[in-house]
Amino acid sequence: MTTTRPDTKTALARLLTEIEHRNPAQPEFHQAAREVLETLAPVLAARPEYAEPGLVERLVEPERQVVFRVPWPDDRGRVHVNRGFRVEFNSALGPYKGGLRFHPSVNLGVIKFLGFEQIFKNALTGLGIGGGKGGSDFDPRGRSDAEVMRFCQSFMTELYRHIGEHTDVPAGDIGVGGREIGYLFGQYRRITNRWEAGVLTGKGAGWGGSLIRPEATGYGNVLFAAAMLRERGEDLEGQTTVVSGSGNVAIYTIEKLIALGANPVTCSDSSGYVVDEKGIDVDLLKQVKEVERGRVDTYAERRGASARFVPGGRVWEVPADVALPSATQNELDAQDAAALVRNGVKAVSEGANMPATPDAVHLLQQAGVAFGPGKAANAGGVAVSALEMAQNHARTSWPAARVEDELAAIMTSIHTTCHETATRYGTPGDYVTGANIAGFERVADAMLAQGVI
Ligand code: NDP
Ligand code: 2IT
């Protein structure tokens, strides 16, 4: 166990105050930076080279931030103006890598929180990818395919000059799936006159995409939850699980839970949740959400007597052994965590990025619940993105079984790394500390080796 010199803690606290001061009105970024910095004191004390002036200060400052105008005409010819973002946070380990989010709540602070998380997540995969994130406050809901296409084309008309297979490789996130990646890739190809498959990941399997990329985040999170349970002598089989969200991550989380013999009983969207006593029918959910682009209340209507839709409610009030938040940031607060603990939850694993508030994380950990932070638990998506880049570079494509085996090996390795690092720094079982320190060590070593840039 390492003791922390008081001056390290004081220096980190001072830096946090400075971050808040220099980045006003970015509460999500402050939250993400605080969560990481608060766990770094022991490693800075144990490894004096990391306490070098400027290292942590450089880590919290993006290498580059691009903000741009995205004008697009709707189907009636009316022009809308959205704002586009790409935050290229850290490229010490490889090209900037991270998704694009299209959602009305997007602003620079949200993209910076996501980009900051991505640095450590990508480091934990063990692969050669830096951290970045982008997106827009565009709301795809209710928009026709033609409108989404025009938006994507306008967005890429600026973004193309900042990205490239060796520079920055975007992918999907909330509101950006296979359809949007297709339109974005088409416009990039048209502008640059290059077939540069490795410039975007999450492409269709027929034109440079990797098999298992759509499934990877959800599958990976279930494997991470299973590893945490195994560490405690339990497994997923027969466990009742609650999942929030009903998008890409939630759907493939539910699919993998069923495959491993668990019983997922919920899904949700921003209008409420569904609880299904017989367990979620994942084929029906895919039909409603992926094919029809519908809402979860339609799932409940079609499913019949076993399912009901609870308008406005949160899934955390449903009793469960395991909870997998898979919608968005700060969707699980202290009150929700208390309800989960009251109902005997054993593990919470974050499919979404930062879905649990700091108070909720604290409460769960105090109650002895195994807690998997997003930067470790949901790293399967970006890991398979990096495998997609490898396949693109080699101009080949791997069978699904190979990608799935590699995903499983990466998730096991991330779990082991987090677990061992937490133990090494005197906080056994604390995956938050383990993930932050292990991710930090890898990035910090690369930054130190590459000099002050
Ligand atoms: P999708 O757009 O496919 O689905 C998002 C889901 O979350 C929808 O059910 C949506 O409901 C719900 N949701 C989004 N915003 C809100 C909000 N403000 N309040 C309530 N519900 C909300 O996105 P993904 O499944 O891809 O992403 C889900 C989470 O997983 C995000 O945190 C993302 O950053 C993270 N993630 C995604 C990865 C990926 O590969 N896609 C990889 C790693 C993490 P509604 O339709 O009503 O808005
Ligand atoms: O949050 C994430 O890790 C993602 N949205 C996936 C990023 C990627 O590049 O695949």
Q: Mean of the pLDDT values across residues 222-236? A: 98
Judged by DSSP in three states, 445 sits in helix
Q: Mean of the pLDDT values across residues 211-238? A: 98
Q: Mean of the pLDDT values across residues 302-312? A: 98
- The confidence score (pLDDT) of residue 6 equals 57
Q: Mean of the pLDDT values across residues 300-305? A: 97
Q: Which residues line ligand 1 (CB under 6 A)?
A: 99, 103, 105, 172-175, 217, 245-250, 269-270, 326-328, 351-353, 378, 381
pLDDT tens for each residue of 190-204: 999 999 999 999 999
Shared domain for 247 and 343, answered yes or no, is yes
Q: Mean of the pLDDT values across residues 359-374? A: 98
* Residue of 174, 332, 387 to test ligand 1 pocket, by largest number of atoms within 8 Å of CB: 174
- The confidence score (pLDDT) of residue 5 equals 56
Domain boundary among the residues 377, 401, 435 is at 377
| Domain span at 329 | 216-377
Q: Which two tokens stand for residue 363?
A: 């409460």
DSSP string computed for 21-65:
HHSTT-HHHHHHHHHHHHHHHHHHHH-GGGGSTTHHHHHTS-SEE
Q: Which two tokens stand for residue 318?
A: 């449903």
Q: How far apart are CA 365 and CA 432, in angstroms?
A: 10
* Residue of 86, 91, 173 to test ligand 2 pocket, by largest number of atoms within 8 Å of CB: 173
Domain boundary among the residues 60, 81, 102 is at 60
The single residue listed with the structure tokens 């080279």 is: 49
- The confidence score (pLDDT) of residue 68 equals 99
- The confidence score (pLDDT) of residue 53 equals 81
Q: Does residue 303 sit within a domain?
A: yes
12: Cβ contacts below 8 Å, ≥ 6 apart: 37, 38, 40, 41, 44, 56
Q: How far apart are CA 24 and CA 8, in angstroms?
A: 25
- The confidence score (pLDDT) of residue 1 equals 44
Query: What pTM value is reported for the model?
Result: 0.98
pLDDT tens for each residue of 35-93: 999 999 999 999 999 988 899 999 999 999 999 999 999 999 999 999 999 999 999 99
Shared domain for 44 and 111, answered yes or no, is no
Rounded to the nearest 5°, which phi and psi values hold at 40?
A: -85, -15
Cβ atoms 96, 132 nearer than 8 A: yes
Cβ atoms 316, 327 nearer than 8 A: no
Q: Does residue 271 sit within a domain?
A: yes
Does an H or E element contain 333, and which?
Answer: none
Shared domain for 271 and 308, answered yes or no, is yes
- The confidence score (pLDDT) of residue 22 equals 98
pLDDT at 13 over 50: yes
Q: Does residue 410 sit within a domain?
A: no
Q: Does residue 135 sit within a domain?
A: yes
Q: How far apart are CA 242 and CA 263, in angstroms?
A: 9
Q: How far apart are CA 136 and CA 69, in angstroms?
A: 10
Q: Does residue 102 sit within a domain?
A: yes
5: CA distance to ligand 1 center in Å? 40
What length does the chain have?
A: 453
Residue 154: CATH number of its domain: 3.40.50.10860
Q: Does residue 422 sit within a domain?
A: no
Q: Around 102, how many Cα atoms within 13 Å sit in the side-chain half-sphere?
A: 22
Q: Does residue 452 sit within a domain?
A: no
In short, whether 385's Cβ falls inside 6 Å of ligand 2 is: yes
Overall number of domains in the chain: 3
Instruction: Give the pLDDT band (50/70/90) at residue 339.
Output: very high
pLDDT at 401 over 80: yes
Shared domain for 186 and 266, answered yes or no, is no
DSSP string computed for 353-392:
SS-B-HHHHHHHHHTT-EEE-HHHHTTHHHHHHHHHHHHH
pLDDT tens for each residue of 230-262: 999 999 999 999 999 999 999 999 999 999 999
Residue 367: CATH number of its domain: 3.40.50.720
Mean of the per-residue pLDDT values for the chain? Answer: 97
